[in-house]
């Protein structure tokens, strides 16, 4: 399975991609996670990416393409992958097409997860993450037991989940990423899935799409 999960910020791409990767036995590749790991490790890549991420903007295409090209060349990704949050621009989609063509393979499907804007804002701004174990809570729907995580770790809001940055990320999505809908629809690889409701139900919707692909 070679799949891309696309969608606005907080559509649930990360949650769904992680689960699909495990179930289909392919790596879950998230450019957002790769950037956050680089920031935490204080690498050059992290320094380059940080300002863009915290402002709700996209990391430049050349930087992003560099990390994806390296990751897709690794042995585990040669047999398949679920890409999460990449591509986010038309040049990135073209770059991905070139990488795959050089490996003589193609994408099976691009799943666009759709969620109304008001819900995206509620999802993102209510999200809290444990600094110690990485567990994700939501102050309304999945609240932590107290002021801290179950493991005792402190809960923080991702800097890019503040209301102002979430609005900026949504605007970035509309202008730079939404054109991919037409791009992949013209290629015949786009499937649109309703991302509202229970995550298990959203998962089942995506699995039905995967099962419809020629695996």
Q: How far is the CB of 78 from ligand AMP (least distance, A)?
A: 20
Q: How far is the CB of 152 from ligand AMP (least distance, A)?
A: 25
Q: Catalog residues that contact ligand AMP under the rule CB under 6 A.
A: 9, 31-32, 35, 52-53, 58-59, 64, 85-88, 92, 160, 169
Q: How far is the CB of 129 from ligand AMP (least distance, A)?
A: 11
Establish whether 13 is a catalytic residue: yes
Nearer to ligand AMP, 12 or 85 (CB): 85
Nearer to ligand AMP, 148 or 168 (CB): 168
Pick the catalytic residue from 2, 19, 127, 128: 127
The count of C-alpha atoms lying within 13 angstroms of the C-alpha of 96, restricted to the half-sphere facing its C-beta, is 25
Phi-psi region at 169: left, alpha or beta (left = phi > 0; alpha = psi -120 to 50): alpha
CA distance linking residue 56 with residue 112, whole number of Å? 20
Establish whether 88 is a catalytic residue: yes
- For strands 28-30 and 109-114, give the pairing: unpaired
Establish whether 128 is a catalytic residue: no
CA distance linking residue 214 with residue 108, whole number of Å? 8
Two structure tokens written together for 86: 């990449």
Two structure tokens written together for 195: 């991302």
Nearer to ligand AMP, 9 or 195 (CB): 9
Establish whether 123 is a catalytic residue: no
Helix (H/G/I), strand (E/B), else coil: 194? strand
Q: How far is the CB of 68 from ligand AMP (least distance, A)?
A: 8
Nearer to ligand AMP, 61 or 108 (CB): 61
Establish whether 106 is a catalytic residue: no
| Residue nearest to ligand AMP as judged by C-beta position | 32
Supply angle C-alpha 111, 113, 118, rounded to 5: 165
Nearer to ligand AMP, 108 or 168 (CB): 168
CA distance linking residue 185 with residue 109, whole number of Å? 10
Q: How far is the CB of 177 from ligand AMP (least distance, A)?
A: 8
Beta-bridged to residue 194, according to DSSP, are 114
Residues 137, 155: contact at Cβ < 8 Å? yes
**Would you please indicate which residues are annotated as catalytic (active-site) residues?**
13, 88, 127, 158, 169
């Amino acid at each position: 399975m070679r799949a891309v999960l696309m969608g606005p910020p907080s559509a649930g791409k990360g949650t769904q991609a992680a689960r699909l990767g495990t179930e289909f036995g392919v790596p879950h590749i998230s450019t957002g996670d790769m950037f956050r790991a680089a920031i935490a490790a204080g690498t050059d890549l992290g320094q380059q990416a940080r300002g863009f991420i915290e402002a709700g903007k996209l990391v430049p295409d050349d930087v992003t393409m560099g990390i994806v090209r390296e990751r897709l060349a690794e042995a585990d990704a040669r047999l398949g992958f679920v890409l999460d949050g990449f591509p986010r621009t038309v040049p990135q989609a073209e770059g991905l097409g070139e990488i795959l063509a050089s490996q003589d393979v193609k994408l099976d499907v691009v799943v666009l997860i759709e969620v109304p804007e008001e819900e995206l804002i509620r999802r993102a701004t209510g999200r809290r993450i444990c600094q110690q174990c990485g567990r994700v809570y939501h102050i309304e729907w999945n609240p932590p037991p107290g002021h801290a995580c179950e493991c005792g770790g402190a809960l923080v809001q991702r800097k890019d989940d503040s209301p102002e940055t979430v609005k900026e990320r949504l605007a970035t999505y509309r202008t730079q990423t939404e054109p991919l809908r037409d791009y992949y629809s013209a290629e015949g690889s786009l499937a649109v899935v309703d991302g509202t409701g229970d995550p298990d139900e959203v998962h089942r919707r995506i699995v039905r799409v995967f099962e419809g692909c020629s695996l």
